[in-house]
């Protein structure tokens, strides 16, 4: 049912279509395993010759329905849920990179991803080169090596809110014969569908807006089906040559446009096993049913809060792409004409101590290590997520010491602004 319906309909209906007498609501298949009548039937599943469930680490009907909904929303050919956004980003790269390989990534990415790419993947023999997303095509291309296998970026970076020029990144990636992988967590497919701009693989931390209620950590990888792996077969032996662990099956030959996502499931999830629990997938699905409504409200509220902050003389600076004068306003208009996300960053005059006093005075907005859910929340990276860094190191990471990350929820904008006002005056 994917392509003919609009995103609002897909949010509510895609992925699960009950037949006569079946539950109206997607059931939670809280079962590790599935029953067969003959040994032969089971054997065909292990050979990937038949489609069917046998063990939840590989596939589960609840998870698959939710993955299918997200694939439909992004306009992809297939998707796989993971236990977290971290797992999704790791698998997305590891599915096409092995020891001795290299990839290029935007430097403006989530801190957890930055560590994963720069430190942990290095221990596996996979190297990364970081480039600023505003770099020219020539500068990005200059970071490529003969063993480079992917280009990576975040549509809207967390927490610094740079906006990725997806078409520019896609052009460089494709000239170099590698896929563009985009972390689309902050805009969600409601506000941006990176495949329409040339991205090949999309990843999400579903923990954020997709769940939207801060109940479940999760992730997803979506395959556009558009990248021609066989055209660059020498770069991608894992997809284009026989897999010993599957009786010599070649993913591109056996699965065509779904080669990448099938390998991620059949090989990486089988061997590394960060599966999302069916219970969490069920909760994620409930979140997705209202994603279109919530994103609209997040954006409307964030715009109002950003405009309020911009006018307040206690505020030193505000970063929100919805503001006219913002550095990324034009890119945001191009890629996200309906709005970007609900996250704003700003700094107060007076720096670190004033920021801390302000945050402690907020009543409605809670101090939590989270972002992008229904409740307004706030975080001061210099005192929390990045507290081990000096002011100089913070600046090098693109995080100003006075940066307050304010995640605008779906409450009344008037109440949120009143809370900010009383805290500024405290």
Ligand X SMILES: *Cc1c(COP(=O)(O)O)cnc(C)c1O
In the complex, which residues of this chain contact ligand X (CB under 6 A)? 84-86, 89, 110, 112-113, 154, 158, 183, 185, 205, 207-208, 217, 219
**In this complex, which beta carbon is closest to ligand X, that of residue 59 or of residue 158?**
158
- Please say which residue, 176 or 216, places its beta carbon nearer to ligand X: 216
Q: Least distance to ligand X from the beta carbon of 208, Å?
A: 6
Rounded least distance, CB 335 to ligand X, Å: 16
CA distance 177 to 98: 17
Q: Kindly tell me which of 91 and 229 has the beta carbon lying closer to ligand X.
A: 91
Residue with smaller CB distance to ligand X, 110 or 260: 110
Give the Cα separation of 18 and 283 in Å (integer). 18
Q: How far is the CB of 117 from ligand X (least distance, A)?
A: 11
Q: Which one, of 12, 1, 73, 6, lies nearest residue 286 by Cα? A: 12
Structure tokens at 79: 């998707």
Indicate the residue among 104 and 156 with the shorter CB distance to ligand X. Answer: 156
Q: Closest Cα to residue 300, out of 378, 187, 410? A: 410
Give the whole-angstrom CA distance, residue 301 versus residue 411. Answer: 8
**Is residue 82 a contact partner of residue 276, using CB atoms and an 8 Å limit?**
yes
Query: How many Cα atoms within 13 Å fall on the side-chain side of residue 316?
Result: 15
CB neighbour list of residue 10: distance below 8 Å, 6 or more residues apart:
2, 69, 72, 73
Alpha carbon dihedral 159, 201, 136, 121, in 10-degree steps, equals 70
By beta-carbon distance, which residue lies closest to ligand X?
85
- Give the residue with the Cβ less far from ligand X, 262 or 280: 280
Task: Compute the distance between CA of residue 121 and CA of residue 256 in angstroms, rounded to an integer.
Answer: 28
**Shortest CB 331 distance to ligand X, Å:** 17
In the complex, what is the shortest distance from the CB of residue 158 to ligand X, in angstroms, rounded to a whole number?
Answer: 4
Residue 362 CB, nearest approach to ligand X (Å): 22
């Amino acid at each position: 049912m994917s392509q003919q319906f609009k995103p609002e309909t897909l949010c509510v209906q895609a992925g699960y279509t009950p037949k006569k007498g079946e539950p109206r609501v997607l059931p939670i298949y809280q079962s590790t395993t599935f029953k067969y009548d003959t040994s032969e039937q089971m054997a065909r599943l292990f050979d990937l010759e038949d489609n069917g469930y046998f063990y939840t680490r590989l596939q589960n009907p609840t998870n698959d329905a939710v993955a299918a909904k997200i694939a439909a929303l992004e306009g992809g050919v297939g998707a796989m849920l993971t236990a977290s956004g971290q797992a999704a980003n790791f698998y997305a790269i590891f599915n096409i990179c092995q020891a001795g390989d290299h990839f290029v990534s935007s430097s403006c990415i989530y801190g957890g991803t930055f560590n994963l790419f720069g430190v942990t993947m290095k221990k596996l023999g996979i190297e990364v080169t970081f480039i600023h997303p505003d770099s020219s095509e020539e500068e990005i291309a200059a970071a490529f090596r003969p063993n480079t296998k992917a280009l990576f970026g975040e549509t809207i970076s967390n927490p610094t809110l740079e906006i990725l020029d997806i078409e520019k990144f896609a052009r460089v990636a494709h000239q170099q014969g590698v896929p563009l992988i985009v972390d689309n967590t902050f805009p969600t497919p409601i506000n941006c569908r990176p495949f329409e701009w040339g991205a090949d693989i999309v990843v999400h931390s579903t923990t954020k807006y997709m769940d939207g209620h801060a109940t479940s950590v999760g992730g997803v990888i979506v395959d556009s089906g558009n990248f021609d792996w066989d055209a660059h077969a020498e770069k991608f032996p894992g997809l284009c040559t026989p897999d010993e662990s599957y009786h010599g099956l070649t993913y591109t030959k056996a699965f065509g446009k779904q080669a990448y996502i099938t390998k991620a499931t059949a090989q990486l999830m089988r061997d590394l096993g960060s599966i999302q629990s069916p219970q969490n997938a069920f909760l994620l699905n409930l979140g997705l049913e209202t994603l279109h409504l919530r994103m609209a409200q997040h954006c409307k509220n964030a715009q109002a809060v950003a405009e309020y902050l911009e006018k307040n003389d206690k505020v030193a600076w505000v970063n929100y792409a919805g503001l006219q004068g913002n550095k990324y306003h034009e890119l945001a208009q191009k890629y996200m004409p309906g709005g970007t996300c609900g996250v704003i960053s700003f700094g107060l005059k007076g720096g670190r101590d004033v920021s801390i006093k302000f945050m402690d005075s907020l009543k409605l907005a809670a101090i939590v290590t989270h972002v992008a859910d229904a409740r307004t929340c706030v975080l001061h990276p210099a005192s929390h997520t990045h507290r081990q860094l000096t002011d100089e190191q913070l600046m090098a990471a693109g995080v100003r010491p006075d940066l307050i990350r304010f995640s605008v929820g779906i409450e009344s904008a008037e109440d949120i602004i009143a809370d900010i006002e009383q805290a500024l005056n405290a």
